Amino acid sequence: MLKPSILAALLAAAPLAMPVLAQDRSADTVVATVNGTPITLGQMIVMKQAAAQDPQMATLPDAALYDLMLDQLIQQSAVASAGTETPAVRAQLDLQRRNVLASAAIAEITKAEPTDQEIQAAYDGMFAEAQPTTEYSAAHILVDSEEKAREVKAQLDGGADFGTLAEQNSTGPSGPNKGDLGWFSADQMVKPFADAVSAMEKGQISDPVQTEFGWHVIRLDDTRLRDAPPLDEVRDQIAQMVLRDRVQGEIQRLTSEATVEKVEGIDPALMNSTDLLEAQ
């Protein structure tokens, strides 16, 4: 067995041969250098996270993926060392850094899931005083002219089958489905269509109605009142809304508290001066 003094001397003489111990690893651990520029374990981890989106890369064992990614980063670093940091490059780097930092801040804001209290409060704010909504079940035949619409209406008044005429004449996507539009509320339709439907009686067929899409002949099949949806039915949507409001509120707070000094007198047309990016 080697004496402790000899073993210590050997280890000191060849430190690069020693593996990185678990307790010594960090995101800043250097895994390679290229022209003196370090490639770190943190960069490898981030690159692997991106690679996980690729099904082929995601199936590779860690050892193969490690070698593949390290080779890519070595090539990238070697090529990057030959690049020139022009104003265009500096601007892109600044924008990318700002975007990454902003994304990290947003991720931190949304890390905590909305509480039951937040979800309940948001739900109450949306639906506590909501009145039942009238929904309509209708079908329509959409054509490109008033003359054609009146011809269709005359055929319907003469006893023609609505679904058959819709299949034969309607230019809308509901045509192959006999013109059926399913259930909808008035605010889901353009105003002239919604106004016509809301004034109709069940079973009635309208006179031609013009909208931005063309001319409609509408049949109202049924109406119903729909109450506010139960909380469990919309919990996921409400949670997403709470997160959006939280992010927007924090963005507004940070922006309002920031020291902002806009430089006056900059000609907006200078944004078109791409030659400025070519200067050294």
Residue 1: predicted pLDDT: 42
Q: Tell me, yes or no, whether 181 lies in a domain.
A: yes
pLDDT, tens digit only, all 280 positions of the chain? 444 444 344 334 444 444 555 556 899 999 999 999 999 999 999 999 888 888 888 888 989 999 999 999 999 999 999 888 899 999 999 999 999 999 999 999 999 999 999 999 999 998 887 888 899 999 999 999 999 999 999 999 999 999 999 999 999 899 999 999 999 999 999 999 999 999 999 999 999 999 999 999 999 999 999 888 899 999 999 999 999 999 999 999 999 999 999 999 999 999 999 888 886 6
Q: Tell me, yes or no, whether 238 lies in a domain.
A: no
Q: Tell me, yes or no, whether 207 lies in a domain.
A: yes
Q: How many domains does the chain have?
A: 2
Q: Tell me, yes or no, whether 18 lies in a domain.
A: no
In Å, what is the CA distance from 63 to each residue of 59, 167, 220? 12, 60, 65
Residue 13: predicted pLDDT: 43
Determine the structural domain holding residue 159 and report its residue range: 133-226
Between CA 127 and CA 130, with CA 117 as vertex, the angle to 5 degrees is 5
Q: Tell me, yes or no, whether 119 lies in a domain.
A: no
Neighbours of 221 (CB within 10 A): 16
Residue 199: predicted pLDDT: 96
Q: Tell me, yes or no, whether 193 lies in a domain.
A: yes
Which ranges of the chain does DSSP label H, i.e. alpha helix? 4-13, 41-51, 55-58, 62-80, 87-109, 116-127, 146-157, 162-169, 191-198, 231-257
Q: Tell me, yes or no, whether 197 lies in a domain.
A: yes
- Shared domain for 139 and 219, answered yes or no, is yes
Q: Tell me, yes or no, whether 201 lies in a domain.
A: yes
Residue 24: predicted pLDDT: 64
- Shared domain for 217 and 138, answered yes or no, is yes
- Residue 268's Cβ-count burial label (10 Å; 0-12, 13-18, 19+) is exposed
Which single residue is written with the structure tokens 């069940």?
202
We report the CATH number of the domain holding residue 139 as: 3.10.50.40
Residue 259: predicted pLDDT: 96
Last residue of a domain, one of 54, 78, 102: 78
- Shared domain for 66 and 139, answered yes or no, is no
The length of the chain in residues reads 280
Q: Crossing angle for the helix pair 62-80 and 41-51, nearest 10 degrees?
A: 110
CA distance 71 to 176: 56
CA distance 149 to 211: 12
Residue 8: predicted pLDDT: 44
- 140: nearest Cα among 157, 168, 162: 162
Neighbours of 134 (CB within 10 A): 13
- Shared domain for 68 and 142, answered yes or no, is no
- Shared domain for 74 and 137, answered yes or no, is no
Last residue of a domain, one of 50, 78, 106: 78
Last residue of a domain, one of 15, 46, 78: 78
Residue 149: predicted pLDDT: 97
